[in-house]
Amino acid sequence: MTDLNGKVAIVTGGTRDIGRSCSIKLAAAGAKVVVNYHSSKAAGEETVSVIEKAGGQAILVKGDMMKKADVDNLISEAVKAFGSEIHILVNNVGGLVARKKLNEMDEDFFNQVMSLNLNSTFLATQAVVPHMPAGSSIVNLASLAGQNGGGNGSSAYSTSKGAVSAFTRAMSKELGPDGIRCNALNPGMIATTFHDTFTPDAARRNVEATVPLRRQGHPDDCADTVVYLASDASSYITGANIDINGGMYYS
């Protein structure tokens, strides 16, 4: 039921952490994968190499998903490589940028965070949908922060991720009649460079000690769910925001 042979998938920010795992797992399930990157070319080449060595097909495309021209080029390269139909879109691009409290933020910073997380999801979705046949699937990366308001200094990030969740539900209603599903993941504490950069080690140890499953998540925990949501195994699931947090929060 998770056989993706004959499918074409685009993963934005598909070169590291959750995006990398999604790219590799989708390819392992049979999809031809378009791996997008912005600045981490070496990581992108390594990701494509892993896919190809395992017998999969993938191409690497540079692009800033906050810029419509780059998004349009990504779609053009996907069509050029794998044909006019795109069956899977994983909107993974996003980030915290920096921890800033309300009195530390200016308008440019707030807009940057919103653009990185929300506008990128909107632009990629808008560009891909015309290429999606019935049975296609969009998976957005939201966040636990979008549900509970996030940690100290992450109000802009949590607001943008909450908006991604709302956009997901809106798209499930709008695109459902065309047979296109749209779901989202709400990851909690996943062991990624995001938390290496922004989350103190003591906070991560606290999660490990208190979360019911007694561990941080792994990018593969998210990617396995993405493959499920991309496949016919989840053909009657749309508009869902799925918690992946080891039991630390219930929506």
Q: What is the 3 state secondary structure string of the chain?
A: CCCCCCCEEEECCCCCHHHHHHHHHHHHCCCEEEEEECCCHHHHHHHHHHHHHCCCCEEEEECCCCCHHHHHHHHHHHHHHHCCCCCEEEECCCCCCCCCCHHHCCHHHHHHHHHHHHHHHHHHHHHHHHHCCCCCEEEEECCCHHHHCCCCCCHHHHHHHHHHHHHHHHHHHHHHHHCCEEEEEEECCECCHHHHHHCCHHHHHHHHHHCCCCCCECHHHHHHHHHHHHCHHHCCCCCCEEEECCCCCCC
Clarify whether 157 is annotated catalytic.
Answer: yes
Average pLDDT score over residue span 236-246? 96
**Which residue is it, tokens 């100290």?**
152
pLDDT band at 198 (very low <50, low <70, confident <90, very high): low
Q: Give the closest residue to 36 by CA, choosing from 96, 86, 98.
A: 86
Domains along the sequence of the chain with CATH: 8-191+219-238 (3.40.50.720)
CA angle (176 as vertex; 6, 94 as ends), nearest 5: 75
Average pLDDT score over residue span 106-110? 98
Condensed to tens digits (0 to 9), the pLDDT of residues 48-105 reads: 999 999 999 999 999 999 999 999 999 999 999 999 999 999 999 999 999 999 999 9
Cα separation values, 55 from 27, 30, 52, 58, 106, Å: 9, 9, 5, 10, 48
Q: What is the mean pLDDT of the chain?
A: 95
Given the residues 37, 157, 236, 249, the one annotated as active site: 157
